[in-house]
Structure 1
Amino acid sequence: MTLEWEQVIVHSVDPVALGQWWTEALGWVVVHASDDEFEIRPAPDRLPGSDFVRVDENKTAKSRPHLDFRPDDQAAEVARPVAHGAQHVYIGQGEQSWVVLADTEVNEFCVGGRRRL
């Protein structure tokens, strides 16, 4: 069997606001939007993407899965989401080469060191 990774589902109390935040933070494009679902991708025909889906409850614990990003310029790619409201967070990582941030609904993600070739 062959599988293609389509998207990461992110539960959200406000999928439009959180999806728009990630659109701006990543520089991606919106491919679907409604009050209950907001889907973004790197380009309209490029996978995987992210789909933000409405849930009624707020996040209450550390996220089990989270996204890791490997940038060309770590400082710039940490500064960009922070400028849009991301927070630096400590999840027990200690001193590491990556930076842990959380989006506006406190979903953790990491920005690693320079992209490997």
Structure 2
Amino acid sequence: MALRPVQVNIKALDPRAVGGFWAAALGWRAYHPGVTTYVGPGGGLLWPDPVLLGIDVVPVPEAKPGVKNRTHLDLATTSPDHQSELVARLTELGATPVDVGQGDVPWRCLADPEGNEFCVLEPREVYRDTGPIAAVVVDCADPRAMARFWGAATDWTAREVTDGLAVLRSPEDTGPYLEFLRTPDGRTAPDRVHLDLLPRPGDEKEAEVARLQSLGATGLDLGQGDVPWTCLTDPEGHEFCVLAPS
């Protein structure tokens, strides 16, 4: 039994606008299967994508609070020119520079039109085959503990685990990385960005939820009501959802 990360969920006042930004940023397309906006590779809506993590932008009535998200995306580039061109294009699309205390670093920190932070990385060999999203990066207090929980929760494999950083990737060694970065900041607001997980074919959502709770996950009531997915938090309080198999 194992769950597969299938999409990054972003809350937004205007999901069509935010979804449109991310579609243009990644060179993908925005699809509108319902009240949410799904962003994925072009060629028609394929969900879940067999390799990449899509983005699902969901409507909420509240604007992002004035605190840094604990989860953000890192975008890959292939050359210094590509990095500069991408930053310029994203700025034209509505991104703004942000200071998250990064100091003098070779990557560029930006925020999407509703203030969700992300980074445009300098070229790195490790991300040469990830697609446009290099990594989903999660701030945490204990990367080793996060590697244990998320490694057991999913079928993703730990590639590096230290006191400061834990790195996981799919067992096929494809698509983006999932990285847990040690930071001094704790949770101060509900998560604006989180992962959605999907049971493998033949596995039941209820059994997977029970397994996650045995690993240290906790049920979460966001006022979601009667929905086909289940909201949980990991041992450090990061929100995530377990989706029902389609």
TM-score, normalised relative to structure 2: 0.44
1:97 aligned residue: 228
Please point out which of 68, 79, 86 is paired with 2:210: 79
Q: Kindly, what percent of the aligned residue pairs are identical?
A: 34
SS of aligned partner of 1:70 = strand
Please point out which of 78, 92, 110 is paired with 2:241: 110
Off by >6 Å, runs of 4+ in structure 1: none
Work out whether 1:19 is the aligned partner of 2:147: yes
Q: Say if 1:31 and 1:44, in contact at 8 Å, map to a contact too.
A: no
Letter of the 2:185 partner, please give it. Answer: E
State which structure, 1 or 2, has the greater radius of gyration over its C-alpha atoms: 2
Kindly state the Cα deviation for residue 48 of structure 1 after the two structures are TM-superposed: 2.2
Q: Say if 2:143 and 2:161, in contact at 8 Å, map to a contact too.
A: no
Q: Say if 1:100 and 1:110, in contact at 8 Å, map to a contact too.
A: yes
1:41 aligned residue: 169
Please point out which of 185, 188, 198 is paired with 1:57: 185
SS of aligned partner of 1:16 = helix
Gaps of 5+ in 2: 1-25, 28-75, 77-130
SS of aligned partner of 1:92 = coil
In 1: Cα distance, 2:218 partner to 2:162 partner? 27
In 2: Cα distance, 1:69 partner to 1:11 partner? 19
Gaps of 5+ in 1: none
CA-atom RMSD in angstroms: 1.8
SS of aligned partner of 2:227 = coil
Kindly state the Cα deviation for residue 93 of structure 1 after the two structures are TM-superposed: 1.0
In 2: Cα distance, 1:22 partner to 1:55 partner? 18
How many pairs does the alignment contain? 115
1:29 aligned residue: 157
Letter of the 1:107 partner, please give it. Answer: H
Q: Deviations over 1:4-45 (max 9, x none)?
A: 122210000111111221011113211112211000112262
TM-score, normalised relative to structure 1: 0.88
